[in-house]
Amino acid sequence: MIITNEHVIHLAKELGFELVGFSKVELLKDEIEKLKLWLQKGFNAKMDYMNKNIDKRFDVKNILPNAKSVISLGMNYYFPDEYKKKENSGKVSRYAWGKDYHLVIWEKLELLESQLKNIDAQFESKSYVDTGPIMDKIWAVKSGLGWQGKHSNIISRKIGSWFFIANIITNVEFNYNTIENDFCGTCIKCIEACPTNAIVEPYVVDSNKCISYLTIENKENIENQFKGKFDNWIFGCDICQDVCPWNNKFSFQSQIDDFKPINKELILDEVLNMNEEIFKNKFETSPIKRAKLKGLKRNAEFILIKE
Ligand code: SF4
Ligand code: SF4
């Protein structure tokens, strides 16, 4: 049987993906030029992996030779809980409150791919969630999931920007979505709210200044120029998405229990006294493990010591 858009939409929605879109495989010429410019300016900071596999990012046929389409999926992770703003606590970015989204979504992608293979044994696919040499946000835009906001995250008119993106490259052809308009308009709330001026121009984030990068991927000390600007963020930062009118209007609670808040705030003293074993047990299935204990302790010290 031939796999249709309706098959994919039906199965993906059953698995909890709110957004499903389809785009035709093409070379990402303009997008790679933009990426190269961003890299030349050093805006990737120490994320050297962004420099690698440019050929695969440019042409997904270098990943799956028979690729015809990209199926883009979005999964809402929003829970409306508030921070309690305790003096001695650090805030965790919303996406990391619950179970690691890689674990949750990989499992669902595997299931979806095997269900599609059951419909058509010729179905070939390669899927990604956040990791891997694929321009995930670009394909999400091409598949009509939303537009790239001035803070660089993808915004959907249906659910705002609190969602994870997954992409499946496949050899199947579909009816393709049209690209969504950019509805940022004259708004610059995210640019104005960013405490470290990391959004250096609309749609361009300098990772060297972004609290998300500084608290997670960064392996070095955090420079003193950022003292007093972290607003107690210990893992990631949500400020630019928190102020976005699209989130204020359209966010609704995730249907995925795995994303329920477990680690919304971390007690700074507990972090500073943590050993590797406690860290491993506490964050084994949490995205927070990416920062490693050393990074988390550095972040706790950085926000505790004000001068
Ligand atoms: S995540 Fe925080 S630091 Fe990074 S661009 Fe957004 S507001 Fe600025
Ligand atoms: S805050 Fe305004 S400018 Fe920034 S992403 Fe949202 S709508 Fe766009």
Give, using CA atoms, the residue closest to atom 4 of ligand 1.
210
Which residues, 6+ apart, have CB-to-CB distance to 270 below 8 Å? none
Residue 191 CA: which ligand 2 atom is closest? 4
User: Which run of H or E residues covers position 32?
Assistant: helix 29-40
Residues 117 and 16 in one domain: yes
Q: Name the active-site residue from 59, 120, 130, 242.
A: 130
Is 130 labeled as catalytic in the residue annotation? yes
pLDDT in tens, the chain (307 residues): 899 999 999 999 999 999 999 999 999 999 999 999 999 999 999 999 999 999 999 999 999 999 999 999 999 999 998 888 777 999 999 999 999 999 999 999 999 999 999 999 999 999 999 989 999 999 999 999 999 999 999 999 999 999 999 999 999 999 999 999 999 999 999 999 999 999 999 999 999 999 999 999 999 999 999 999 999 999 999 999 999 999 999 999 999 999 999 999 999 999 999 999 999 999 999 999 999 999 999 999 999 987 5
From the CA of 152, how far away is ligand 1's center (Å)? 10
Residue 233 CA: which ligand 1 atom is closest? 2
Full residue range of the structural domain in which residue 238 is found: 189-304
Number of domains in the chain: 2
Residue 89 lies in a domain: no
Residues 59 and 143 in one domain: yes
Q: What is the pTM of this model?
A: 0.96
Residue 175 lies in a domain: no
Q: Which of 170, 200, 231 is the last residue of a domain?
A: 170
From the CA of 198, how far away is ligand 2's center (Å)? 14
Report CA-CA distances (Å) from 220 to 173, 213, 224.
46, 11, 12
Give, using CA atoms, the residue closest to atom 7 of ligand 2.
184
Residues 126 and 23 in one domain: yes
